[in-house]
Structure 1
Amino acid sequence: MPIHKSTEYGDIEISLEAIANLVGGTINECYGIVGMASQKVVKDGWAELLKRDNYSRGVIVRQDGNSLILDIYVIALQGIKLSEVMVAAQQRVRYVLEKTLEVKVEAVNLNVQGVRTVK
């Protein structure tokens, strides 16, 4: 179900897929994140690294009343302190959504699907 906003110029509907793409772009700018991952781990325990046009496959956006709950699947950079990087990523996603779309974000759940080295 899309998010509805009313302005003096008319109504705006923001689809959950558009929100997922915004989240994907935001999370990929975060330090220590290699990229978005598919929700399903492919064979042999490898996670698929998603390209820009598939970000919505790595983000689940749910509405709980007037707020959003996000489940984000990522691949992290090897050698970083995961806890600190993930907290910073959660804060950045929450900030961007609340400032850009003016919606309340109840939870940002990050799921690390894999760890990779960057060449």
Structure 2
Amino acid sequence: MKGYMNTQLGEVIIDTDVIAKYAGANAIECFGIVGMAAVNMKDGLVRLLKRESLTHGINVVINENKITLDFHVIVSYGVSISAVADNLISTVKYKVEEFTGLEIEKINIFVEGVRVID
């Protein structure tokens, strides 16, 4: 389902891929996030996604103009996962709500791996 708004000038429709790309770009700039992860269900392998394919690590569901986001992330080694998650939630919630004009109902974060970064 796509997000939509009625304005004085007409209807605005927002595709879920646009929201996923914007949310992913903001998420990887958060402290402690190495990147988005893609999980291969067949053999359970997790791989770090390149910046061009951020949308594969994010699932967007829009229900009655409320957005639910699922992030599959890889975090930096040695950081507090709860602090990283809190930072990610607050940053993405604010920026996506400002960008779309729609309300964020829920943000789920799935930590798929830990990486040591230099």
TM-score with structure 1 setting the length: 0.89
Counterpart of 2:36? 36
Alignment partner of 1:83: what SS?
helix
Q: 1:24 to 1:42 in 2, by over 3 A?
A: farther
Q: Deviations over 1:83-112 (max 9, x none)?
A: 111111111111111111111001110110
Question: CA RMSD, aligned part only?
Answer: 1.7
* 1:106 corresponds to 2:105: yes
Shift of 1:42: 7.8
1:56 and 1:7 mapped to 2: Cα distance?
A: 28
How many residue pairs get aligned? The number is 118
Q: 1:112 to 1:22 in 2, by over 3 A?
A: same
Counterpart of 2:54? 55
Q: Deviations over 1:16-73 (max 9, x none)?
A: 0111101110100000000011143685x65211112211110111122220111100
Q: Which has the higher strand share?
A: 2
TM-score with structure 2 setting the length: 0.90
Structure 1 stretches of at least 4 aligned residues deviating more than 6 Å after TM superposition: none
Counterpart of 1:115? 114
Q: 1:27 to 1:41 in 2, by over 3 A?
A: farther
1:63 and 1:24 mapped to 2: Cα distance?
A: 16
Q: Percent identity?
A: 33
Q: 1:115 to 1:42 in 2, by over 3 A?
A: farther
Q: 1:68 to 1:39 in 2, by over 3 A?
A: farther
1:103 and 1:94 mapped to 2: Cα distance?
A: 10
Q: Indicate conservation of the 8 Å contact 1:3/1:16, yes or no.
A: yes
| Structure 2 unaligned regions, length at least 5 | none
